[in-house]
Chain A
Amino acid sequence: MAAYKIVHYINQFFGGIGGEEMADYKPEVREEVIGPGLALKAGLGGDFEIAATVICGDNYFGENLDKATDTIIEMVKKYQPDVFVAGPAFNAGRYGVACGTICKAVEERLGIPVLSGMYEENPGADMFKQDVILVKTGNSAATMRKAVPKLVGLIKKMAAGEEILGPSIEGYLERGIRVNYFAEERGSERGIRMLVKKIKGEEFETDLPMPKFDRVSPAKAVEDMKAARIAVVTSGGIVPLGNPDHIESSNATKFGEYTVEGMDTMSKDDYMTIHGGYDRQFVLENPNLVIPLDVLREKEKNGEIGSLLPYFASTTGTGTATNSAARFGDEIGKKFIEEGVDAVILTST
């Protein structure tokens, strides 16, 4: 009896079902080792068994994301594997996205360690490299031989619960996760050495390549402000006295929604700020400096705007992880659609 069980996910092509014409193949599980699984099995040795292989057509998966994921999760669950591996997908885009999606789901829903492999330009790579370990492969299946040992090495570590080291050592795509470590020398010394190289025109390696931020297309302008429903959102950390929702002063993990119903102005008797990144004295005295309710209420009364949403959304904007901010924006956006909000004023300190 092998010590560890693996379940392997592959597409219709690697499963030997067919090519493009079979891309709508529904998920099927076979208690066999198929295609690339054979190379994996050979590399893993006697302690490992590939208990099952799941085959699914790339188009079926892509067009039935939820259903396919649910079905496959049920299939995988049955075998209670120690590790789940998908692909490798090389440069096949739909296959890469399927591998990333199913890996992420298996880890989140079944708590099993997962990994896959693909070429760094595979669309699935950017989408999933933060959430799933993706072994770096070449851009075609001709590079399978090189990919297998890396996959094998990681599978063995994951099964045994051993520490996964850095991307350049283990051979996976950089995930963009920042991890602390203690260097040999202190930061200032490292900085001086880097600077001397830069001045001389020699090669050096920066500790942090600059991140790139995505863009959103500008939303359509408001056509009739007099009929528009306006909402206010802030990162200035405005909360009711006592901070009942315990929003953090830095690196907030949540946002709150607070009423302004019946109020003509923001009063320091009702509201305060818990933002840890600025001198709070002015805003504590007059919260209208961050939530301009006094002015907006007046504009509502004299018809310049249609109406004001009876609550505002608020969180702390210092040390806020960009992923958290994106999540807050997404949740707030969804609510605002439901509430018929036409435009938003977002204030920051």
Chain B
Amino acid sequence: MVKGIEKYGIPVVHICTVVPISRTIGANRIVPAVGIPYPLGDPTQGEDESRKIREKLVTRALKALETPVDEQTVFEKDEW
């Protein structure tokens, strides 16, 4: 789906746990998620912590959308 949308020129950031699949299929901007049953957060750490994690990942994802890339890039850290 990522490529289907991106070919219209709209940048897409893929937040996903199984980064290798995203790479194989060909997403260009990838942000690793926490886990398969809870990609954007970690309920096992309590609601507050979970929301903080979500905030961090979404911020990173938005930054990835603002970052020019030439090739597939995985955004693992918050260094801008």
A/B contact in complex, CB under 8 angstroms: yes
Q: Which residues of A contact B (CB under 8 A)?
A: 213-223, 225, 228, 230, 233, 235-236, 278-283, 285-286, 288-290, 292, 294-296, 299, 304-305, 315, 322, 325-334, 336-337, 341-349
Q: Residue B15 contacts which of A228, A328, A345 (CB distance < 8 angstroms)?
A: A345
Tell whether B65 is near chain A: CB-to-CB under 8 Å. Answer: yes
Of all A-B residue pairs in the complex, the 5 with the closest CB atoms, nearest first, are A329-B4, A329-B1, A348-B16, A218-B28, A333-B5
Q: In the bound complex, do residue A330 and residue B24 qualify as a contact, i.e. CB atoms below 8 Å apart?
A: no
* A288-B9 contact in complex given A225-B66, A295-B51, A295-B55, C-beta closer than 8 Å: no
We find that the number of chain B residues with CB closer than 8 angstroms to chain A is 48
Q: In the bound complex, do residue B12 and residue A219 qualify as a contact, i.e. CB atoms below 8 Å apart?
A: yes
Residues of B within 8 A of A230 (CB): 62
Q: In the bound complex, do residue A222 and residue B58 qualify as a contact, i.e. CB atoms below 8 Å apart?
A: no
B1-54 residues at the A interface, CB under 8 angstroms? 1-18, 22, 24-26, 28-29, 33, 36-41, 43, 47, 50-51, 54
Q: In the bound complex, do residue B43 and residue A220 qualify as a contact, i.e. CB atoms below 8 Å apart?
A: no
20 examples of A-B residue contacts, CB within 8 angstroms: A214-B3, A216-B6, A216-B28, A218-B11, A218-B29, A221-B67, A281-B37, A299-B62, A325-B1, A326-B1, A326-B4, A329-B4, A336-B8, A342-B11, A343-B10, A343-B11, A345-B12, A346-B2, A346-B13, A349-B39
Give me 15 other A-B pairs in contact (C-beta within 8 A), A233-B5, A333-B10, A347-B33 excluded.
A215-B26, A218-B69, A223-B66, A281-B37, A283-B38, A289-B54, A292-B58, A305-B62, A326-B1, A333-B4, A333-B7, A336-B8, A345-B15, A346-B12, A346-B14
CA of A315 to CA of B5 in the docked complex: distance in angstroms?
Answer: 14
Tell whether B79 is near chain A: CB-to-CB under 8 Å. Answer: no
Q: In the bound complex, do residue B65 and residue A225 qualify as a contact, i.e. CB atoms below 8 Å apart?
A: yes
Residues of B within 8 A of A341 (CB): 10
Residue of A nearest to B43 (CB): A282
CB distance from A306 to the nearest CB of B (A): 11
* A336-B68 contact in complex given A288-B40, A343-B11, A347-B33, C-beta closer than 8 Å: no
* A294-B43 contact in complex given A281-B37, A336-B5, A346-B13, C-beta closer than 8 Å: no
CB distance from B65 to the nearest CB of A (A): 4
Question: For A225, A286, A305, which residue has the most chain B Cβ atoms within 10 angstroms?
Answer: A286
Q: In the bound complex, do residue A348 and residue B58 qualify as a contact, i.e. CB atoms below 8 Å apart?
A: no
Q: Which residues of B contact A (CB under 8 A)?
A: 1-18, 22, 24-26, 28-29, 33, 36-41, 43, 47, 50-51, 54-55, 57-58, 61-62, 65-71
CA of A289 to CA of B37 in the docked complex: distance in angstroms?
Answer: 9
CB distance from B70 to the nearest CB of A (A): 7
Q: In the bound complex, do residue B12 and residue A328 qualify as a contact, i.e. CB atoms below 8 Å apart?
A: no
CA of A331 to CA of B69 in the docked complex: distance in angstroms?
Answer: 25
| Secondary structure call for the B interface | mixed
Q: In the bound complex, do residue B1 and residue A347 qualify as a contact, i.e. CB atoms below 8 Å apart?
A: no
Question: For A220, A228, A333, which residue has the most chain B Cβ atoms within 10 angstroms?
Answer: A333
Q: In the bound complex, do residue A282 and residue B38 qualify as a contact, i.e. CB atoms below 8 Å apart?
A: yes
Residue of A nearest to B55 (CB): A295
CB distance from A194 to the nearest CB of B (A): 23
Q: In the bound complex, do residue B54 and residue A294 qualify as a contact, i.e. CB atoms below 8 Å apart?
A: yes
Residue of A nearest to B31 (CB): A345
CA of A315 to CA of B24 in the docked complex: distance in angstroms?
Answer: 20
Residues of B within 8 A of A218 (CB): 6, 11, 28-29, 68-71
CB distance from B60 to the nearest CB of A (A): 11
CA of A326 to CA of B13 in the docked complex: distance in angstroms?
Answer: 16
Question: For B5, B17, B28, B58, which residue has the most chain A Cβ atoms within 10 angstroms?
Answer: B5
Q: In the bound complex, do residue A233 and residue B1 qualify as a contact, i.e. CB atoms below 8 Å apart?
A: yes
